[in-house]
């Protein structure tokens, strides 16, 4: 993905849909939308958070403003491959994203406060990344997330995009992009995640298609769902340990 957009400002709306709904939806979308040149591709991410998971806990409290920090790759990178450091902010329903491209090993040392900001060439980005890193000095890798994505754009307005994410996996160990895509699934069975990304108002034709197919917005965060599953796993492990202690006493 040599060409990439480094600044985003748009509204992103998510929908949990079944594969049956997807099949019908695509019949109606094809006259308007076109698959991007990458086809079905793997997206891998490492989300960064504080020791006590402050960023995701704050995000789940539904504040007016929230932010996330992650490293994203398209495919499984080696240490010398290019990845993207991203700061994703959401204020009053609008998503603002800044991203900077660098080698994976540089990104890891940069976010670990071990490498200077010279690896980011844009001054505005330097200030934003510097501000986040200084505000969260204990920021560290917290979760791996990967998924397979199909992305479509409007034939008449390529700022309108629709993505479909399948096989969403997470893990909280082995937090290296170079380790490859594996982990625990997040999506409900027989479902995929659709996301509509628009800079302005939703076109009438798209709103009508969604209405006809009874497809409505859903609150679904990959990171939040992974975090909730992580907590459930921790709780289950704690209970099992206590039970073993009781039985062995």
Annotate 143-189 with DSSP letters as a single string: EEEEEEEEEEEESS-TT-EEEEEEEEEEESSS--GGG-S--EE-SPT
What integer best gives the mean pLDDT of the chain?
89
Whether the CB-CB separation of 88 and 95 falls below 8 Å is answered with yes
Average pLDDT on 135-151 reads 95
In this predicted structure, the answer to whether residue 149 has a pLDDT above a threshold of 90 is: yes
d(CA 138, CA 157): 42
In this predicted structure, the answer to whether residue 248 has a pLDDT above a threshold of 60 is: yes
- Which phi and psi (to 5°) does residue 115 adopt? -140, 145
Tokens describing residue 104:
């994976």
Give the pTM. 0.88
Q: Strand, helix or coil at 136?
A: coil
Planar angle of CA 225, 151, 160, nearest 5 degrees: 100
pLDDT > 90 in the chain, percent: 65
- Would you state the pLDDT for residue 3? 47
What pLDDT digit, counting tens, does each position of 195-241 carry?
999 988 899 999 999 999 999 999 999 999 999 999 998 887 777 66
184 compared with 125, residue with greater pLDDT: 184
- Which phi and psi (to 5°) does residue 85 adopt? -85, 130
pLDDT > 70 in the chain, percent: 88
Interacting residues of 91 by C-beta distance below 8 A, sequence separation 6+: 64, 65
Tokens describing residue 30:
């094809």
């Amino acid at each position: 993905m040599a060409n990439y957009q480094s600044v985003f400002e748009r509204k992103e709306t998510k929908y949990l849909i079944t594969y049956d709904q997807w099949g019908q939806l695509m019949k109606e979308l094809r006259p308007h939308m076109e698959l991007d040149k990458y086809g079905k591709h793997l997206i891998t991410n490492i989300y960064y958070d504080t020791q006590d998971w402050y960023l995701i806990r704050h995000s789940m409290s539904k504040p007016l403003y929230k932010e996330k920090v992650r490293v994203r790759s398209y495919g499984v990178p080696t240490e010398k491959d290019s990845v993207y450091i991203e700061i994703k902010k959401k204020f009053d329903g609008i998503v603002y994203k800044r991203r900077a491209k660098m080698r994976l090993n540089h990104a890891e040392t940069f976010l670990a406060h071990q490498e200077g900001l010279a690896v980011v060439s844009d001054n505005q980005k330097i200030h934003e990344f510097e501000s986040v890193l200084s505000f969260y000095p204990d920021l560290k890798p917290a979760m791996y997330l990967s998924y397979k994505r199909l992305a479509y754009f409007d034939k008449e307005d390529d700022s309108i995009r629709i993505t479909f994410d399948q096989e969403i996996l997470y893990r909280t160990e082995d937090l290296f992009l170079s380790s490859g895509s594996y982990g625990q699934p997040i999506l409900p069975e027989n479902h995929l995640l659709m996301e509509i990304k628009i800079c302005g108002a939703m076109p009438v034709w798209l709103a009508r298609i969604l209405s006809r197919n009874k497809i409505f917005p859903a609150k679904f965060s990959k990171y939040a769902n992974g975090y909730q599953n992580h907590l459930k796993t921790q709780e289950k492990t704690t209970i099992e340990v206590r039970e073993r202690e009781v039985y062995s006493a």
